[in-house]
Amino acid sequence: MRLEGLHHVTAVCADAQANLDFYARVLGLRLVKKTVNFDAPEVYHLYYGDERGTPGSLLTFFEFPGVRAGRPGAGMVHTICWRVGSQAALDWWEEHLAAHDLATERGGRVLRFADPEGLRHALVVAGVDDAPLTARAPGIPAEHAIAGLHGVRAYAEPEDVAATDALLDTLGMERDEHGRRIAAGAERHGQLTWDEAPDEAGVPGAGTVHHIAWSVADDAELNAFREKVAAVGARPTPVIDRQYFHSVYFRPPAGVLFELATRDIGFAIDEPEDRLGEELRLPPQYEHRRAELEAHLEPLTNPRALA
């Protein structure tokens, strides 16, 4: 029983339409689910990923309209790392992002940039054998497409990192020669890198990561991991039904909110795979409020549908 890398990363944005324009048009990810925040249904929860919404390809956003810009600090993820297939892909992305007036920083096998709200990303030529998880997007060559999540980098104080070691050991996350923690399953790998925290305190808001989710197979694994986490004092939540997966949440001493999410349900449970993300999907408990929520939420135009 091992974590199959990352399941998804969830961040915060202030403008859902601008967010959709960037991630679907500029980065070429597919909008695979348009739903609402299950804990605050008056705001969108958007999911981007590969063509099928495969765990390991997913970046999701809570939209809180007009929320202030955030700043990562101790206990927060500061960079989301993605895989690409080659140095030629980095060359292509460097030119593509510059054409959209985005500054980049190139270093070896990595290209760094930030989205328009300041959320930092890195494209990495990764030495792993995981199958690429790509989406089809006009204007983005298939051989250069983003190929799934590689990992995250987070800020933490050294003493909090040390206090988190036992929990990561319990989760089966090995430490590599560079000190990174690796969740290595049979098919997918994901990594977590701790960096020294800046002096400035973090500020949650637009352009920051809310939580990271690690991939487990099903409810049996989820409950087994939950027991392991509880045994080392991490105080996990009960299992929560998120409709497209089941989840458990807990916060390690290093501060980053962790989720364990199952990969056995998926996004085609309430709409066909070839229509993913086209309609607003509501969890059953909010279906009776559809008219109210649709009137409240700003209509979105998916650039993929216009291509």
Please state the rounded mean pLDDT for residues 228-249.
96
Please state the rounded mean pLDDT for residues 222-236.
96
pLDDT at res. 30: 98
What are the structural domains, with CATH classification, of the chain? 6-306 (3.10.180.10)
Fill in the DSSP letter of residue 206: B
Higher local confidence (pLDDT), 178 or 306: 178
- Per the CB < 8 A criterion, the answer to whether 192 and 222 are in contact is no
pLDDT at res. 98: 98
Q: How far apart are CA 40 and CA 152, in angstroms?
A: 26
pLDDT at res. 71: 97
pLDDT at res. 191: 97
- Please, what is the average pLDDT of the chain? 96
pLDDT at res. 10: 98
Please state the rounded mean pLDDT for residues 216-244.
97
Sign of CA dihedral 138, 281, 55, 174: positive
CA distances (Å), origin 149, targets 8, 59, 212, 222? 8, 8, 11, 21
Query: If pLDDT is split at 50, 70 and 90, which confidence band does 306 have?
Result: low
Q: What is the pLDDT of residues 164-179, one digit of tens each?
A: 999 999 999 999 988 9
- DSSP, collapsed to helix, strand or coil, labels residue 23 as helix
Q: What is the pLDDT of residues 73-131, one digit of tens each?
A: 999 999 999 999 999 999 999 999 999 999 999 998 999 999 999 999 999 999 888 99
Please state the rounded mean pLDDT for residues 31-37.
97
- Percent of the chain predicted with pLDDT > 90: 95
Query: If pLDDT is split at 50, 70 and 90, which confidence band does 143 have?
Result: very high
pLDDT at res. 277: 96
Q: For residue 162, is pLDDT > 70?
A: yes
Q: How far apart are CA 150 and CA 295, in angstroms?
A: 38
- pTM metric for this prediction: 0.96
pLDDT at res. 205: 98
Query: If pLDDT is split at 50, 70 and 90, which confidence band does 304 have?
Result: confident
